[in-house]
Amino acid sequence: MKRYLFAILCCSPMLVHAEIYKAVDADGHVTYSSSPIAGGKKLNLEPLPTMLPAAKGSGFPSVDSQTQKGRDNTRRKILQDELDAEKKLLNAATQKLNDAASTPDVYRGQDGKTYRNVAAYDAKVQPLQDEVDLHTKNIEAIETELSRMPK
């Protein structure tokens, strides 16, 4: 019973209204308070306008179930097309990464020996790995959206 009384009292618009006081000090700093302060003036504020939530049947825009089903099917088709395109892009990016990873960059030293150029290899492979990661994340995001679609 106390909870209900508390909820009613909290929601009452009469209790929400409070007196506000404003004070400006010598340096120009403004202070607002809900209790009187030295040198402060009471502000006369008009209550904010409120809106009631729209009730069903009150002319609130809505669509019939067939229209919504059509929109859902269109969205599902668009998402599926995007998923297919991302999978193709992922395959191409993976192939480029594999090709780049299988051909290490090398150079010949003054001694005539061959050495791997790790910096050049990393500079070549890292953007390709980033591209693969991007397409993988895109696929995960699209699959998540598809899983949330109504059946």
Backbone angles phi, psi at 21, to 5 degrees: -120, 145
Adjacency order of strands within the sheet including 41-43: 30-33, 20-24, 41-43
Domain count within the chain: 2
* pLDDT tens sequence for the chain (151 residues): 455 444 554 555 554 567 888 988 888 888 888 888 888 898 888 888 887 776 666 666 788 889 999 999 999 999 999 999 999 999 999 999 999 989 888 888 888 888 888 888 899 999 999 999 999 999 999 999 999 998 7
51 is a domain residue: no
Contact 86, 138 (CB under 8 A): yes
Same domain? For 38 and 106 the reply is no
Q: Quote the pTM value.
A: 0.55
- Please return the burial class of 142, using the count of CB atoms within 10 Å of its CB with bins 0-12, 13-18 and 19+: buried
Same domain? For 70 and 26 the reply is no
Same domain? For 38 and 69 the reply is no
Domain that holds residue 98: 65-148
Run of H or E residues at 89 = helix 65-102
Same domain? For 142 and 70 the reply is yes
Same domain? For 72 and 38 the reply is no
